[in-house]
Amino acid sequence: MKTLYEYILTATKNYKNSTALVQNSKHISYKNLLQKIILISDQLILEGLHKGDKIIINLKNPLNQFIASIAVIRAGGVAVPIGQKTDSSDWDLIIKNVDPFTIITDPRSSDINQIKQFNFPHSIFYWSEELFKHIEDSDYIENIEHFENESAQKITRLIQPEISDLVFIHYASETKKLIAFNHIGIIYPSLLLNQILSVNPSHRELITYSPSHILGFIRIIQNLIAGATSFLIQDIEDKLNIPAYIMKHKCNTLFTDIELFNYLCSNFKSLTMEALKNFIILQLSGDNIYSIDELVKQGLSDLQMTKVYLSYSPLEAPLTTIVNIKDVDPENLCMGLPLPGIKLKIQKQSNVDNPNVGILCINGNNTMEGYFKDGNIDKSNFSADNWLITNQYAMLDEKGKLYLKGTKEDVMFINKDIISLQEINALIGNILSELNCEYYLTFKENIYEPENKVPILFYATGYAETIEPEKIYEKISSLEIDWLKNLLIFKVKEIPKSGNKVIKNELFKQIDNKDPDL
């Protein structure tokens, strides 16, 4: 499976005459791309950039926009790509709402005089030829087959750790709105999209694209790095045969552009229910696009089996969002879009006898009902602001099953919060390392209340001073984790191991007065 960067470089080869993707009429190599990303990000850090600072990117060349955006991400900043030829009132709105750290722009930009009127806390960061004067332009290659895997891996490692922290802001000039995308996506002109992602017919089952906007640009990076193959191409030329195309390929994901979206809205009555059963529409945010309200007026969302998802961030999503995904076969559900900063909570259902059945709460309001089996949550009903869940604790796979991170053993439902055993382990480890103790944290089910797992801590001091359990408990109590209030602490001679694995049974054999309730 190729990485996104291989697609980029394939695109530069296939679109050799494009001024957008070719510099000096040659192909840009991995090494050259990587050098530019590192150079710009390092320069931003030297300028004093802090994590979360917003950088406006006002560049004419889409490839430069891409390079600058990734560089900003690498430096820990927030990329705010803004189109050129923006009038003064737009700039006033942008500066006021974005509160940028600085701006990356072309020194000959038509907006430069307007930009200079605003007092940036740091100097305007120009994209100039001097910036790259020490980069050798001779490092270009003609044949994509010659790209070295090592270079590709370097770029992948460079980008991948930052993916979960991405924040992009898109300015829609016609609607005068700033739209925040928290690792959901970035909108770029169609030129960049077509030439980077529309590579050749053999890759069309892997990449999905819109001639008008790119939705989920960073989402695509994530999936390509992970080796995803679930994207389906829907060419604009195929729009008159959408139902047959969907039935033929049994697709469950379709990215649409404005023209296709308008076609769907105006022709929804002629689309059969069978064709729409697996049909998912992603409403693209940006200029000249139907709002969800318009979609509702057209009646498309009234179709029971049609799912409509917004590409807006949760904060920007209209209140009139209507999605019906109840009683849909989980096999036909698509991957969930990431929800930034969402915390999952679990609440017990008082009217359900089975302790493994509960409600997952998102931000404490909207709920998704499910049941837990073998560490997984099988989908039964979603109602989460009509968003699918993906975050550090849970994810929805391509088959529509929601998985908690980790296994049943290492995910605790504590005080209505999902807390991993590893997370607690790390906190305890910080405390016991100060006391030079070896330890092992585990749990057992309470025979009277099987749903309540009792935490057990074994510790050994070795040749260190004698440390009583009371002192350990006092230290751990400072963590203020309710689940640990019932912590059972046992001092043992040693923590027995086989390789790197702790032998739990051997630990229990060392306990003289084992609690009879365990």
Write down the pLDDT at residue 463. 61
Residues contacting residue 228 through CB under 8 Å, at least 6 positions apart: none
* In the predicted structure, residue 476 carries a pLDDT above the cut 70: yes
Write down the pLDDT at residue 433. 77
* In the predicted structure, residue 442 carries a pLDDT above the cut 50: yes
Interval 323-340 mean pLDDT: 27
Interval 476-480 mean pLDDT: 79
Inter-residue contact 285 to 316 (CB < 8 Å): yes
Inter-residue contact 448 to 489 (CB < 8 Å): no
Write down the pLDDT at residue 373. 33
More confident residue, 350 or 464: 464
Write down the pLDDT at residue 312. 29
Residues contacting residue 365 through CB under 8 Å, at least 6 positions apart: none
Query: Can you give the three-state secondary structure of 162-191, one letter per residue?
Result: HHHHCEEEEEECCCCEEEEEECCCCCCCHH
* In the predicted structure, residue 218 carries a pLDDT above the cut 60: no
Write down the pLDDT at residue 430. 80
Interval 363-373 mean pLDDT: 34
pLDDT digits (tens, 9 = 90+) for 99-126: 778 888 776 666 667 777 776 666 666 5
CA atoms of 137 and 27, how far apart (whole Å): 10
CA atoms of 300 and 269, how far apart (whole Å): 8
More confident residue, 242 or 211: 242
Any idea what DSSP says for residue 499? T
Interval 8-22 mean pLDDT: 34
Average pLDDT of the residues of the chain? 48
Interval 461-490 mean pLDDT: 78
Percent of the chain with pLDDT over 90: 0
Residues contacting residue 255 through CB under 8 Å, at least 6 positions apart: 208, 209, 210, 215, 216, 231, 234, 282
Q: Catalogue the long-range contacts made by 381-385 (C-beta closer than 8 Å, 24 or more residues apart).
A: 381/326, 382/325, 382/326, 385/314, 385/317, 385/321
Q: Which of 55-64, 138-147, 424-433 has the weakest average pLDDT?
A: 138-147
> In angstroms, how far apart are the furthest CA atoms of the chain?
81
pLDDT digits (tens, 9 = 90+) for 164-180: 222 233 333 333 333 32
* In the predicted structure, residue 201 carries a pLDDT above the cut 70: no
* In the predicted structure, residue 192 carries a pLDDT above the cut 80: no
SS3 306: coil
pLDDT band for 230, please (50, 70, 90 cuts).
very low
More confident residue, 297 or 44: 44
Closest to 485 measured CA to CA, from 476, 494, 493: 476
Write down the pLDDT at residue 121. 61
Structure tokens at 12: 């530069």
Sign for the CA dihedral angle at 288, 289, 293, 295 comes to positive
Write down the pLDDT at residue 214. 29
DSSP string, 276-287: HTT-EEEEPPST
Q: Strand order in 54-58's β-sheet?
A: 125-126, 102-105, 54-58, 78-81, 167-172, 177-182
HSE (side-chain half, CA atoms, 13 Å) at 190 = 8
Write down the pLDDT at residue 90. 66
* In the predicted structure, residue 482 carries a pLDDT above the cut 50: yes
CA atoms of 218 and 78, how far apart (whole Å): 13
Structure tokens at 209: 């694209």
Most confident of 72-81, 285-294, 349-358: 72-81
pLDDT band for 429, please (50, 70, 90 cuts).
confident
Distance set, CA 516 to CA 446, 448, 511, 512, 513 (Å): 10, 12, 12, 12, 9
Write down the pLDDT at residue 418. 47
Write down the pLDDT at residue 184. 23
This prediction's pTM: 0.31
Write down the pLDDT at residue 55. 80
Most confident of 40-49, 135-144, 349-358: 40-49
Write down the pLDDT at residue 464. 55
Percent of the chain with pLDDT over 70: 21
* In the predicted structure, residue 145 carries a pLDDT above the cut 70: no
Most confident of 43-57, 87-101, 343-357, 367-381: 43-57
Residue 276 phi, psi (nearest 5):
-85, -10
Closest to 195 measured CA to CA, from 13, 383, 459: 13
Indicate the pairing of strand 357-362 with strand 438-445: unpaired
- 256: amino acid identity, one letter: T
Interval 256-270 mean pLDDT: 40
pLDDT digits (tens, 9 = 90+) for 52-94: 777 887 776 655 666 677 677 667 777 776 655 556 666 776 6
For residue 419, the cross-strand partners are 412
pLDDT digits (tens, 9 = 90+) for 451-472: 456 788 888 876 656 788 888 8
**What is the rounded (10 degree) CA torsion for 182, 120, 51, 180?**
0
